[in-house]
Amino acid sequence: MIRIENITAGYLQQEVLKDVSCNIDNKDFFGIIGKNGAGKSTLLKVLCNLIKPYSGNVTIDNKNINSFLKRDFAKIISFSSQHIDISMPFTVSEFVMFGRYPYMNTLKIPSKNDYVVIDNIMNSLNIKNFAERKINKLSYGERQKVLIAQVLAQETNIIVFDEPTSHLDIGSQNKILEILRDLNEKYNKTIVLTLHDLNAAGEFCNKLTLMENGSICSCGTPEEVLNCKDIERVYNTNVVVKTNPISNKPYVIPVSRIKELRR
Amino acid sequence: MINKKYLIVYLLMPVLIIAVFLFSLLIGSNEMSFFDVIKSLLGNTDENIVAIIKNIRFPRTIMACITGAGLAVSGCVFQAILKNSLADPFTLGISGGAVFGAVTAFVSGLATITSFFIPLCSFVGVILSVLIVYLLSMYKKFDPNAMILSGVVISYVFSSAVMLMFSLSPSYSIHAAFVWLMGSFSMIDERFLPFVVFVVLSGIIILSLSGNIINAISLGGEKSKTIGLNIERSIKILFIVASFITAVTVSFCGIIGFVGLMIPHIMRKIVDTNNIILIPACAFAGAIFLPLCDTLSRALFAPVLIPVGVITSIIGGLFFVFLLFKSERNI
């Protein structure tokens, strides 16, 4: 269980998170939603110990994240950002192999086992056929799969994703989220991710957090969080919230020209 | 595919090194046959030839090999850790420091007392510049852009200091300094050879073994910090090792441009980005390219010796233009 307690954090002198607290249970599919600049990514970075908060604590199973060795921490929680640096393009298999680094010796020479692990992962995600292609020559959907493979190679119980579905079409988006749901349901991984698509968030996550201006506005099941009032206020627009007749999950439709219609 | 790469790097390139090495021993102002060279290496032939080969050409060629390898490897490492394909061993201000030190030696007259002061002063200059860049980068947590910027600033400061010294000193010392600036293997004291070979070779071995860590650094972004590596510490160590290799070669041979920039580019096209194979490949390629250039510099306008830096920069410049147009076509 991840406990985020009274986190205040930011970059240089600009405070982005203000006294944020929330809990993430084991095996949660935990989605963070909110406007651009609300502090979603910053919260993920604090959780992964990438930036030090000004105050507050993050604990994983009652252990403060600062008390872990870097290498041990990398075996518990893996992080994938939306951004891939392609200034030095690696091949897909080299790229996935980075996920095995926490398990390697000082000079990071891969062992036979490391090759077996990444082979299995690439097979299970159906990316083995372009294992020797360069990462910058892939489509966004393929890249996202490679990022998942890299994270899986790390074999952690907690997987943190920063916007895994940005730039994806609706089909690829569903595919990626289904892979993550499989990991969550079949392999009991805790998934923490930020999303922009409220409908995808409502459909796939079992818990949602809505952030606003660096603090948490509401936290709970999709039914609780995706209510018309909060969404309209946070996103400053007009919406209708309905229930999906097949999955019984809430979905959100934006409404334009509502004033004219009301007249 | 992978096997082919390893074959090129670990079989073809060492053979080429030996070929270039022998070629380099063969060419010079004294005509001699291929068999003379082989015989003199084995130790039985005309004493004159043995003297020329063993005392002049052999140390010079070794120095060219080791300098080429060192510059190519440190250039490759700088490009990887700075995540900038335009970086080279001199991006972080090393050349500025070296020139400053050497010119101080020439202008102050220390160089006329004993030539040993030239490498010493230039080495001190390099250490000074590396130290300043290191401290400035430390303040910015070794962010690549901050490192490049501080390197460029230091270069400018030192080259202005050099200009100042030039304008205040007599022309004969300026000429000697100018020749040094262009880079040359003709002033090498062979007594330092074992030292240079040892330092550069151990540096190259350390960097070659760190290939996978260098990969993680050039992976960049937040990901590299979440796979259990202390990225900042690794950058520090790699920066110091690569700088040290450059410092030693520069102190003895002057500024030899473009080797550290173009060899990694060429090798990246042949063996790809993975540093675990790229770094040894660069070492071998540097050890082929620089003795070749040096031999050309001796042979082209014989008996006039032109500085090897001129040859590498001309070839490097042409290559760069080629690279520029080629990449434009790809877009």
Task: Please spell the DSSP secondary structure of A43-106, one letter per residue.
Answer: HHHHHTTSS--SEEEEEETTEEGGGS-HHHHTTTEEEE-S----SSPPBHHHHHHGGGGGGS-T
What does the pLDDT read at residue A194?
94
Q: Which of B85, B223, B272 sits opposite A81 (nearest CB)?
A: B223
CA-based nearest residue in chain A for residue B265: A88
Contact flag B215-A73 (C-beta cutoff 8 Å): no
Residues in CB range of B37: below 8 A, 6 or more apart: B22, B25, B26, B53
What does the pLDDT read at residue A259?
63
Phi, then psi, of B175 in degrees rounded to 5: -60, -45
Contact flag B273-A72 (C-beta cutoff 8 Å): no
Is residue B330 very low, low, confident or very high in pLDDT (cuts 50, 70, 90)?
very low
Contact flag B218-A89 (C-beta cutoff 8 Å): no
What does the pLDDT read at residue B117?
85
pLDDT tens per residue across span B98-114: 889 988 888 887 777 77
- The alpha carbon of residue A237 and the mean position of all alpha carbons in its chain are separated, in whole angstroms, by 25
Please report residues of A whose CB lies closer than 8 A to that of B225: 50
Q: Considering only A123-132, B121-130, B184-193, B210-219, which range has the smallest mean pLDDT? A: B184-193
B272 touches chain A (CB under 8 A): yes
Contact flag B226-A74 (C-beta cutoff 8 Å): yes
Please tell me the distance in Å from A100's CA to the nearest CA on chain B. 8
Contact flag B83-A87 (C-beta cutoff 8 Å): yes
Please report residues of A whose CB lies closer than 8 A to that of B228: 70-75, 101-102
Residues in CB range of B19: below 8 A, 6 or more apart: none
Q: Which of B83, B229, B230 sits opposite A88 (nearest CB)?
A: B83
A109 touches chain B (CB under 8 A): yes
Task: Give the start-to-end residue ranges of the domains of chain A.
Answer: 1-76+156-221, 92-153
Contact flag B210-A107 (C-beta cutoff 8 Å): yes
Q: Span A1-76+156-221: which CATH code? A: 3.40.50.300
Is residue B126 very low, low, confident or very high in pLDDT (cuts 50, 70, 90)?
very high
Largest Cα–Cα separation, chain A: 70
Find residue B296's DSSP bridge partners. none
**Average pLDDT of span B302-308:** 77
What does the pLDDT read at residue B331?
35
The pLDDT mean for chain B works out to 84
Please report residues of B whose CB lies closer than 8 A to that of A104: 212
- The alpha carbon of residue B234 and the mean position of all alpha carbons in its chain are separated, in whole angstroms, by 22
**Average pLDDT of span B218-222:** 81
Inter-residue contact B254 to B123 (CB < 8 Å): no
Phi, then psi, of A62 in degrees rounded to 5: 65, 15
Give percent of chain B with pLDDT exceeding 90: 31
| Burial class of A27 by CB neighbour count within 10 A (0 to 12, 13 to 18, 19+) | middle
- Within B109-230, where are the H helices? 110-113, 117-139, 144-167, 171-181, 193-209, 211-219
Select from B223, B271, B279 the residue whose CB has the most chain A CBs within 10 Å, as the one to mutate to test that interface: B223
**AA identity, residue A189:** K
Going by C-alpha positions, the residue among B268, B218, B206 that lies closest to residue B74 is B206
Token duo for residue B328? 């434009």
Long-range contact list for A123-129, CB < 8 A, 24+ apart? A125/A149, A125/A152, A125/A179, A127/A92
Name the residue with tokens 């090759």: A115
What does the pLDDT read at residue B30?
67
Contact flag A89-B83 (C-beta cutoff 8 Å): no
What does the pLDDT read at residue A263?
55
What is the distance between the alpha carbons of residues B40 and B50, in angstroms, rounded to a whole number?
5
Please report residues of A whose CB lies closer than 8 A to that of B213: 107-108
CA-based nearest residue in chain A for residue B219: A85
What does the pLDDT read at residue B208?
94
B225 touches chain A (CB under 8 A): yes
Over its length of 263 residues, how does chain A's per-residue pLDDT go in tens digits?
A: 899 999 999 888 788 999 999 999 999 999 999 998 899 999 999 999 998 999 999 999 999 999 999 889 999 999 988 777 777 788 999 999 999 999 998 888 899 999 999 999 999 888 989 888 988 888 888 888 899 999 999 999 999 999 888 888 888 899 999 999 999 999 999 999 999 999 999 999 999 999 999 999 999 999 999 988 899 999 888 888 999 899 889 999 988 766 666 55
Contact flag B222-A48 (C-beta cutoff 8 Å): yes
Contact flag B228-A72 (C-beta cutoff 8 Å): yes
Q: Considering only A32-41, B77-86, B219-228, which range has the smallest mean pLDDT? A: B219-228
Please tell me the distance in Å from B5's CA to the nearest CA on chain A. 14
**Average pLDDT of span B290-299:** 87
Q: Which of B1, B216, B273 sits opposite A98 (nearest CB)?
A: B216
What is the distance between the alpha carbons of residues B126 and B128, in angstroms, rounded to a whole number?
5
Contact flag A71-B228 (C-beta cutoff 8 Å): yes
Decide yes or no: CATH 1.10.150.250 for domain B2-330: no
| Burial class of B125 by CB neighbour count within 10 A (0 to 12, 13 to 18, 19+) | buried
A154 touches chain B (CB under 8 A): yes
pLDDT tens per residue across span B135-179: 998 888 888 888 999 999 999 999 899 889 888 887 777 787 877
pLDDT over 70 (residue B1): no
Contact flag B273-A90 (C-beta cutoff 8 Å): yes
Is residue B43 very low, low, confident or very high in pLDDT (cuts 50, 70, 90)?
low
Please report residues of B whose CB lies closer than 8 A to that of A87: 83-85, 218, 220
Please report which helix (H) or strand (E) contains residue A200, including its range: helix A198-204
Please report which helix (H) or strand (E) contains residue B48, including its range: helix B47-51
Q: Model-level pTM? A: 0.88
Q: Which residue has the higher pLDDT, A84 or B232?
A: B232
Please tell me the distance in Å from B314's CA to the nearest CA on chain A. 27
pLDDT over 90 (residue B182): no
Chain B, window 94-153: residues with a beta carbon less than 8 angstroms from a chain A beta carbon: none
Contact flag A102-B218 (C-beta cutoff 8 Å): no
B5 touches chain A (CB under 8 A): no
Inter-residue contact A33 to A198 (CB < 8 Å): yes
B84 touches chain A (CB under 8 A): yes
Q: Are strands A250-254 and A239-243 parallel, antiparallel or unpaired?
A: antiparallel
Four-residue CA torsion sign, B37, B43, B47, B51: positive
Inter-residue contact B40 to A48 (CB < 8 Å): no
Please tell me the distance in Å from A39's CA to the nearest CA on chain B. 16
